[in-house]
Amino acid sequence: MHLALTWDDVQGYVGDFGMNVYNTTFKHVGAAYDETLVLLEEYYKRGSWSEVVRASYEENILKKRSSKWIEMLLRNVKRRYFKDHPPLPRVELLSRFVHVVNSNQIRIQAFYQYICEAHPLVDRLVVGLVGNNLLRYGSFRLTKNVFREFLSKEAEIHPELKNWAEYTKEKWRRDFYAFLRSSGLMEKHPSVLVKKFVIKPETFAFFIYGLIDEGFSPSEIFRSRLWKRYYLTEGEIEEKLSECQVRGWLNFRSMGRIFELNPKFNSLEEWLGFLEYRKI
């Protein structure tokens, strides 16, 4: 176990974050994994987002007392999952994946990518702060001081952070810690120990086939930014591909720095059909 790297230590490490403007929208609902699961299951069954919205208010499928809270959840779920975030698979395929697999851990590991894609500061913290410490130490304590130091340094290139009130920064930190815990990365409160999680082969294959559908070459798939969010080394990516091969989902062969990747299915949709037939 180790303390964290400082912000200066992570400069030059893996990560491509661009210059998106950071905002506070993530703290409004946090990860909301349970509610997302309900909404995407309902979307798969009903086939219409407007029907899901109607049912959220009239049937209270989210089991919430506040209509304002329901509205906020619906707005954030729509932004995260119904807006196109290439190369992530579109929501029709994600909702089918949610329906087909029988593990919330598998589902949450997929949702995690969409949250990172929709919220630039979450992505920056996931890869730039958490990821680089995990790659260096294997596990570390993400203390309040380490988090605030990183955020302070980040404000040097993102001046909008300087306008955030102290309460907003603290609320953001607490919500980010809750996100890490619900994603399986941080131990239960009051611990702040962060460890890598084990990516399920179903989740990995879902995004592999998504990248194939987007026309990515094998080398582009191997270098995808998606794996940085899962903290996978090159060797671990190969291990995950081998796990998928054992399950009969694809063929993979590694020859030093060269590897071959041949899908067994023509598309992500076809692979999902196979899983549904097999009833994972």
Q: What is the pLDDT along the chain (280 residues), one digit of tens a residue?
A: 444 433 333 333 333 334 588 998 898 899 999 999 999 999 999 999 999 999 999 999 999 999 999 999 999 999 999 999 999 999 999 999 999 999 999 999 999 999 999 999 999 999 999 998 998 999 999 999 999 999 999 999 999 999 999 999 999 999 999 999 999 999 999 999 999 999 999 999 999 999 999 999 988 999 999 999 999 999 999 999 999 999 999 999 887 777 789 999 999 999 999 999 886 5
Q: Measured between alpha carbons, how far is residue 244 from residues 10, 88, 204 in Å?
A: 32, 19, 8
Whole-structure pTM value? 0.91
pLDDT on residue 278: 83
pLDDT on residue 254: 81
Q: Are 249 and 271 in contact (CB under 8 A)?
A: yes
What distance in Å separates the CA atoms of residue 272 and residue 270, rounded to the nearest whole number?
A: 5
Angle between helix axes 91-100 and 268-278 (nearest 10 degrees) is 20
pLDDT on residue 19: 57
